[in-house]
Chains A and B, each alone.
Chain A
Amino acid sequence: MTHFIDRRLNPKGRSTGNRRRFIGRIKAHVREAVDASVRKRGITDMEAGTDVAVPRDSLSEPSFHHATKGGTREGVLPGNREYRAGDEIPRPPPGGGGAGRKGAPDGEGEDDFVFALSRDEFLDIFFEDLELPDLVKRSLAGSAVRRPRRAGLSVTGAPANLNVGRTMRRAMGRRIALRRPSDAHLDDLRDRLFALEAVFEPDAAQRAEMARLQAELEAATAHRKRVPYLDPLDLRYSHFEPQPEPRAQAVMFCLMDVSASMGAREKDLAKRFFVLLHLFLTRRYETVDLVFIRHTHLASEVDEQTFFYSRESGGTMVSTALAEMNRVQSERYPASEWNIYAAQASDGDNYQGDSRDCQIWLESELLKICQHFAYVEIIGEAEARILRDAARGTELWMAYREVAERWPNFAMRRVAGSADIYPVFRDLFARRREVAHG
């Protein structure tokens, strides 16, 4: 007898556990490759995953086996054309020829085991031991995901959902209510009948008893047929209803100074910072909204393209951006439903006296509702050498420093080159307890 089973719909990823163990084993190499590619390539193709080359040595699975050389070997080969017994053949030069693995044509050496790290694995390692602070608010708004939830029982359903316990309970109730004769009862009747049948020359009373038992047995058997052990009426299925899944959602405000003092280099650095934060948020939250606010002496909400690539001239008033953020947030992103993050990039220039306003905006409004507010000041390479001391800086920097002292959800750093971005980022969101332990 042959059975056919369609396995194609079985859950995928049976070997995920093995893959995870494999990556765990070569963690050091993977980590290295990830760090290298983060430094090397542009942020835009960060999502692509990466190739990891691992020296074969660290993956060897040794065993006792014969060496490929040495000793006397004799083997049989097919396809003889010209040889006769006793012919002598020069050895093929080592390395070339039939035996032995050849170097792969695509440059992957024989010594390396190369494999592709998927995007998710790449980001997992990238974000390892980072954690966003205060991941608390969940909201039903805007969720598209529905998950099946238990919702009682139903009389129809897929066989896989058959609720055996309920079904059997109902069957038993029905059998009792309809007085279905039990196995024991039938056996008892049969035994008594059998005992009477065994009597040699039964008297009249015994004969009558026999007839009565016979009739009773027949009635009971017929009754059992009418009242089956399990009836389609008894069947109950577990019922599942799709219910919207509460999802955590976040909005990320990107604030940037686009006045003339911000050149292409500064914008590029700022962009890297934003993209990293965005990548990270998309991993933690199912929906992440982005709001781009650029400012000169005026602030406005713009789309991403304009935000990064269009030029604007004017003075610099940072507080306008904060006011704009406050407006957008109170109109569209109520703090009770959204996790609010903000990232601000600037070169530190500000209109005289405006920094005080910024401080007030932050402390009276924004920091009360923000999960986290990160500020990076982008400075030149030359400045970086001078401004090594965090206690010195522009007016804006000094004002923000006061804020940072009072608000734990406010963080600020200076960035001078693209190499600084990654460490700054890790530093900004490093796990709290690591900070606590020093």
Chain B
Amino acid sequence: MADLLFDGPDWNFDTLRRTTDAIEKIAREDLGLDTYPNQIEIISTEQMLDAYSATGMPLMYRHWSFGKQFIHHERLYSKGAQGLAYEIVINSDPCICYCLEENTMPMQALVIAHAAFGHNHFFKSNHLFRQWTDARGILDYLDYARGFLSQCEERYGPGRVERTLDAAHALMNASVFRHRRPAQPSLRAEAERAEKRIEEDERAAHYLWSRIEAEHRSPGHENASTERRHALGLPEENLIYFLERHSPVLEPWQRQVLRIVRNLAQYFYPQRQTQVMNEGCACFVHFHILSKLHEQGRIGDGAMLEILHSHSSVLFQPGYDHPGYSGINPYALGFAMMRDIRRICESPEQEDRDWFPAIAGCGDWRGVLKDAWANFRDESFIQQFLSPKVMRDLRLFALRDAESEDTMRVTAIHDAGGYHALRDTLAHSYDLSHRAPDIEIVDADLAGDRVLRLRHVLRNEVPLDARDREATLDCLRELWGYEVEIDEMVG
């Protein structure tokens, strides 16, 4: 019984390994998690600040904005205005997990269960990460990117590289493929494909067909701009992708820089779409595993109290009128929903049976959760699984702020009439394609005035930030080389 994994706050590599093995046993045998191999790295506070500044990645090309980040965090940290994260975990294979050396042993256990198993499982199983990121290749790619950019700095001067990166960073968030898997053929594959296409055309050439096609095409033919847009693949939502392929002024190395920035944006895109789920999953996993270890008598009461203390402070959700309020805490929401899924599976009430007939009382909460972790993202997860009980517990209400009205209006609260509306609104607010401005490139006449035309479709009449819009357009001009215009359209 008295088989404690560790005793007291100090840790060493023996206790770390013993604890990790015990955590892994529960993660695999009880929860049935499927993870990448773990690489747990112990780092100092300064290294943690370093990691902060480079978007958490262990390798990154150099850019002044990362220096700015570092200074910003360092200042906040040294003033005591902000604590450091206990861990940073990277979606890579092997999964790298940074743990701060200052953590006590109970904290290390919490952090390892949270990141090295919770997040790790999520990275490996969630469909967005599987489809859109390459966990095995990311570190090599970053290494390549860093080397390539420092080569460029040597060859073309730091100033030019910096300008290109600045402009690319400005467009980063508007440069992801949201709906289709980015085609990434090598140059050679692309050339081969073009050749094959010509061959196909030659084989298919037949006077009969060509006549029919010609007749078919003639009305469209008159409209040269349709043809032109089609050839450029317009409209295009991925701004950098278009510039990289079609900008008339960029040099080859600049196109490659753009490509690097675009690939990174794409790599981070799933993380932005699954904040609630990712954190919820990690919190659920650490809570389950550590409670189990405590039940088995392998973690002492004192250590468990420390773990629960930091667990509950991470999961604290202040009310909207609390001075510490800064939006809905993704940890709290995700954890509450996942705990509730377990409850619904195990001991449902009538309400749950009405709302979730498929899972209520099925008992297999592990299966349901793993299915959710694998196949949903924040928006669809909330739409599918947010239960009336969670809405009541968090006392959610929806607020509508219309410019045309003098006051804000409460549109729904946690009551029978409001559950559906509340759930829709919350799910919507996590939909990235809804939250980010809808901007695409619609036209560019390379043979004519070469003006690049963008279209912003206004949603609910929410405008773009005017100052940043102009500054970002300047960045676009820098990369396009000619005039850039943006039209606003009410959608």
- When each residue 2-41 of chain A gets 1 if its CB lies under 8 Å from chain B and 0 otherwise, what string results? 1111111010101101111111110000000000000000
Contact A79 B39 (CB under 8 A): no
Closest chain-B Cβ to A20's Cβ sits at a distance in Å of 7
Task: Determine which of B13, B53, B65, B466 lies in contact with A67 in the assembled complex, contact meaning CB atoms within 8 Å.
Answer: B466
> A65 within 8 Å of B by Cβ?
yes
Contact B67 A4 (CB under 8 A): no
CB-CB nearest in chain B for A69: B403
CB closest residue in chain B, given A66: B462
* Bound complex: CA A25 to CA B62 (Å): 13
Residue from B395, B460, B464 within 8 A of A73 (CB atoms): B460
A75's contact among B43, B94, B399, B465, by CB below 8 Å, is which? Answer: B399
B47, B428, B460, B469: the one contacting A10 at CB < 8 Å is B47
Name A71's contact: one of B67, B98, B116, B461 (CB within 8 Å).
Answer: B461
The segment out of A88-96, A263-271, A296-304 that lies at the interface is A88-96
> From B38, which residue of chain A is reached at the shortest CB distance?
A2
Stretch at the interface among B206-214, B281-289, B318-326: B318-326
Q: Are B463 and A70 in contact (CB under 8 A)?
A: yes
A22 to B162 Cα, complex, angstroms = 11
Q: Is B173 interfacial (CB 8 A cutoff)?
A: yes
- Say whether A21 contacts B320, CB under 8 Å: no
Interface pair B395/A81, CB less than 8 Å apart: yes
A85 touches B468 (CB 8 A): no
Interface majority SS (helix, strand, loop, mixed), chain B: mixed
Within 8 Å by CB of B413, from A23, A67, A85, lies A85
Q: Which of B220-228, B358-366, B370-378, B414-422 contacts A (4 or more CB under 8 A)?
A: B414-422
Contact A68 B71 (CB under 8 A): no
B2 proximal to A (CB < 8 A) = no
Q: Does A160 count as interface, using CB distance less than 8 angstroms? A: no
Please give me the residue from chain A that is nearest to B150 by CB atom. A17
Q: How far is the CB of B262 from chain A (nearest CB, A)?
A: 14
Which residue of A63, A77, A79 contacts B174 across the interface (Cβ within 8 Å)?
A: A63
Q: In the assembly, what is the distance between CA of A19 and CA of B49, in Å?
A: 13
B463 touches A71 (CB 8 A): yes
B 56-83 contacts with A by CB, 8 A: 62-68, 70-72, 75
B67–A20 CB distance below 8 A? yes
B16's nearest neighbour on chain A, judged by CB, is A4
Q: How far is the CA of A140 from the CA of B169 in the complex (A)?
A: 51
Give the contacting residue for A14; candidates B50, B75, B463; CB below 8 A. Answer: B50
Interface residues of B in 300-346 (CB under 8 A from A): 317-322, 325, 328
Contact B62 A17 (CB under 8 A): yes
- Chain A window 40-74, contacts with chain B (Cβ cutoff 8 Å), 1 for yes, 0 for no: 00000000000000000001111111111111111
Given the known inter-chain contacts A10-B47, A68-B465, A83-B397, please indicate yes or no for A63 contacting B70, CB distance below 8 A: no
On chain B, the residues within 8 Å of A73 by CB distance are: 400-402, 460, 462
A61-B425 contact given A15-B50, A18-B53, A115-B75, CB 8 Å threshold: no
Give complex CA distance A28, B227 in Å.
Answer: 50
Q: Counting chain B CB atoms within 10 Å of each CB, which of A18, A71, A83, A114 scores highest? A: A18
User: In residues 71-109 of chain A, which contact B (Cβ within 8 Å)?
Assistant: 71-81, 83-91, 98
> Looking at the complex, which one of A2, A23, A78, A84 makes contact with B17 (CB distance below 8 Å)?
A2
Chain B: which residue is nearest A77 at the CB level? B320
Q: Which of A65, A77, A78, A98 contacts B436 (CB 8 A)?
A: A65
Q: Are B75 and A18 in contact (CB under 8 A)?
A: no
- A204 contacts the other chain (Cβ, under 8 Å)? no
> Is there an interface contact between A85 and B417, defined as CB atoms closer than 8 Å?
yes
Is B426 close to A, CB under 8 A? yes
Give, as a whole number of angstroms, the nearest-CB distance from B356 to chain A: 20
Contact call B169/A7, Cβ cutoff below 8 A: no
Is B31 positioned at the interface, with any CB of A under 8 Å from its CB? no
Check if A113 is an interface residue, CB within 8 A of chain B. yes
Partner of B43, one of A8, A19, A80: A8
Question: In the complex, what's the smallest C-beta–C-beta distance from B280 to chain A, in angstroms?
Answer: 15
Give every chain B residue within 8 A of A88 (Cβ-Cβ).
407-410
Bound Cα distance from A85 to B417, whole angstroms: 9
If the complex has contacts A61-B170, A85-B418, are A19 and B463 also in contact, measured as CB distance less than 8 A? no
> Are A15 and B67 interface neighbours, CB within 8 A?
yes
Question: B318 contacts which chain A residues (CB < 8 A)?
Answer: 78-79
Q: A4-B16, A15-B50, A66-B465 are in contact. Are A72 and B460 (CB under 8 A)?
A: yes
Residue among B39, B40, B401 facing the most chain A CB atoms (10 A cut-off): B401
A18 near B62 with CB under 8 A, answer: yes
- State A78–B71 Cα separation when bound (angstroms): 33
Q: Does A328 contact B (CB under 8 A)?
A: no
- Determine whether B412 belongs to the interface, using a CB cutoff of 8 Å to chain A: yes
Report chain B residues within 8 Å CB of A22.
64-65, 67-68, 71
Contact B407 A91, beta carbon cutoff 8 Å: yes
- Are B399's CB and A3's CB within 8 A? no
- Which residues from A are CB-within-8-Å of B400? 72-74
Query: In the complex, which residues 102-125 of chain A have their Cβ closer than 8 Å to any Cβ of chain B?
Result: 113-116
Q: Quick check: is B37 within 8 A (CB to CB) of the other chain?
A: yes
Chain A residues within 8 Å of B325, by CB: 79, 98
Cβ–Cβ < 8 Å partners of B401 in chain A = 72-75, 91
In angstroms, Cα B421 to Cα A74, docked, is 11
B394 contacts the other chain (CB 8 A): yes
User: In whole angstroms, what is the CA distance A192 to B395 when docked?
Assistant: 83
Chain A 213-256 residues near chain B, CB threshold 8 A = none
Q: Does B396 contact A (CB under 8 A)?
A: yes
Residues on A with C-beta less than 8 A from B396 are: 76-78, 80
Is B256 interfacial (CB-CB < 8 Å)? no
Q: Are B64's CB and A89's CB within 8 A?
A: no
Most buried by B among A22, A25, A64, A73: A64
Are A21 and B158 in contact, CB atoms less than 8 angstroms apart? Answer: yes
Distance A59 CA – B40 CA, assembled complex (angstroms): 35
Chain B hits for A85, CB < 8 A: 410-413, 415, 417-418
Please name 16 pairs of A and B residues whose Cβ atoms are closer than 8 Å in the assembled complex, sorted by A. Answer: A2-B20, A2-B39, A2-B116, A5-B42, A10-B47, A15-B66, A15-B70, A61-B169, A63-B174, A63-B472, A66-B463, A73-B400, A76-B399, A80-B414, A87-B409, A114-B75
Q: A5-B39, A74-B411, A80-B395 are in contact. List 10 more A-B contacts (CB 8 A).
A: A4-B16, A7-B47, A18-B70, A68-B465, A73-B400, A77-B320, A89-B399, A89-B408, A90-B407, A114-B75
Residues of B whose CB lies within 8 Å of any CB of A are 13, 16-17, 20-21, 24, 37-44, 46-47, 49-50, 53-54, 62-68, 70-72, 75, 94, 98, 101, 116, 158, 162, 166, 169-174, 317-322, 325, 328, 394-404, 407-415, 417-418, 422, 425-426, 428-429, 435-437, 439, 456, 458-469, 471-472, 475
The 5 closest A-B pairs by CB, nearest first: A79-B319, A22-B67, A71-B462, A18-B67, A62-B471
Binding site for B on A (CB under 8 A): 1-8, 10, 12, 14-15, 17-25, 59-81, 83-91, 98, 113-116
